[in-house]
Structure 1
Amino acid sequence: MTDMRAKDGVRFELLSWIIHPGFHLRESASWNDIAIGYLTPEIKFDYHIQPVCLNDNPDLILDSKIAKISGWGSLKQRGLYPDYLQEAEVEIYSDRRCKKSKLGYYYRPEIMMCASSYPMDSCSGDSGGPLVLDSGWGYMFQVGIVSFGIGCGLRGSAGAYARVSTYYDWIQEVTKNVKTCSTP
């Protein structure tokens, strides 16, 4: 569903989850910020519900690409939460630009990426959400997972995302090689 107040829509229950063994939370930052959730009932794919393709290519150049984020998080720093699913376009920054942003000390390029397009940004409540790119082949593929930020929607700020390609092998191991499409 895309409206929190709607009575219809498909609901799933989270049965269990596996947190990455290297997960670490320190101050405002999270390292290895990824988990796999198991849902019930089984997901039935249709026109509205499709699996996401995962970025399995660590050499894919993402700098300056325009990606999409979506979520139910706050619309601004210390702001209200929306009734409707939100979507925005953000620019994926180079590792150098991420390091120079407010993320600075907390940024680890081997496991993270960052993105923002002032004032558009992921915010509190968006954690775990997708950072996706259009493949150009009729589907989207996920390159990041919303992790943390030092503020949100602020000038000089960028959201930090877990880098999906870093965790691709772990995802495959935990999910017993779930079928996913590769990046173009």
Structure 2
Amino acid sequence: MDSVKLLFASTILCLWIITGESIMNGDEAAPHSRPYMASIQKNGNHECGGFLIASQWVMSASHCFQDGVGGRKIVLGAHSLSADEDTKQTFDIVAVYNHPDFNKAIYDNDISLAKLSRPAVETDAVKQLKYAREGAADPQEDAEVETAGWGFTDNLGSKPDKLQELSIAVVGRHICGRSRSYGPNFTKNMICANKRGQDTCAGDSGGPLLYKGIAVGITSNGGKCGSSRKPGLYTIISHYTQWIDQTMTQ
């Protein structure tokens, strides 16, 4: 029995390491109320989130593409992952550009751009999301921010079929930089956020963190989902304006 429990725990841990973050104790989003959301899938299975920032570009997290494109596709316009929704647009990925300074040990510079095989058709269910650029002020401690995704809803690997959303609060940098939290691994390129029992978890990586309707962060990584000691980590988008602009000219 002990060996079975150990195997189960190891499997869950492995899944968490692979996929990064998901929504715990959130709510189902109104269908297509977040039309910028992207589901990054492999063999028809959701792996990571992302969001449309230009007609042919989706922003996500580098750790979602550590092996490159890898046969993945991107689905826009989805609410239910399983339903045959006529709002869905599915794309091959022409190329993936991970930030050259991505540090997979601590998830620093965890930002990626995926180029779609064709421009997305804008509809009520598919729209671009504005993102913070250089010079934009980061949301301060206790500011309310929003995130969304199809990631795990608990630490046992329960997966939602429909898009979940969550309002959380920015956690002070001095807290996430403590030795009992992330210590020196919490870099200037990161922001952390959660609420008691509410957090992102495995499968939400790459999705946006929004402040006043603008994407200010990318869901990156964290500790145990829902942990007050290690809130979810988000990459600060405004630190990468020059790299984003240069990459999207390719």
Normalising to structure 1: TM-score of the pair? 0.85
Q: By how many angstroms is 1:2 displaced?
A: 0.8
The one-letter code sitting in structure 2 at the alignment partner of 1:112 is M
Q: Is the 8 A contact 2:135 2:238 kept in 1?
A: yes
The one-letter code sitting in structure 1 at the alignment partner of 2:183 is G
Instruction: State whether structure 2 residue 103 is matched by structure 1 residue 24.
Output: yes
Normalising to structure 2: TM-score of the pair? 0.63
- The partner residue of 2:206 within 128, 142, 151 is 128
RMSD: 1.7
1:20-169 correspondence to structure 2 within 5 Å: 20-26=99-105, 29-58=106-135, 60-63=137-140, 64-100=142-178, 102-108=181-187, 110-134=188-212, 140-169=213-242
Q: Which has the higher helix share?
A: 2
Q: What SS is found at the alignment partner of 2:238?
A: helix
Q: Deviations over 1:47-95 (max 9, x none)?
A: 2222111111445141121111111111122321111111101111221
Q: Is the 8 A contact 1:148 1:160 kept in 2?
A: yes
The one-letter code sitting in structure 2 at the alignment partner of 1:129 is G
Q: Is the 8 A contact 1:103 1:160 kept in 2?
A: no
Aligned mates of 1:61, 1:113 — CA distance in 2: 9
Q: By how many angstroms is 1:145 displaced?
A: 0.3
Change (3 A) 1:167 1:78: farther
Q: What SS is found at the alignment partner of 1:170?
A: helix
Q: What SS is found at the alignment partner of 1:55?
A: coil
Percent identity reads: 27
Which 5+ residue runs of structure 2 have no aligned equivalent? 1-77
The one-letter code sitting in structure 2 at the alignment partner of 1:154 is S
Q: What SS is found at the alignment partner of 2:153?
A: coil
Aligned mates of 1:107, 1:58 — CA distance in 2: 21
Aligned mates of 1:46, 1:4 — CA distance in 2: 18
Q: Deviations over 1:5-56 (max 9, x none)?
A: 1112222222210110101111xx3111111101123112222222111111
Aligned mates of 1:154, 1:111 — CA distance in 2: 21
Aligned mates of 2:176, 2:93 — CA distance in 1: 33
Q: What SS is found at the alignment partner of 1:168?
A: helix
Aligned mates of 1:84, 1:167 — CA distance in 2: 31
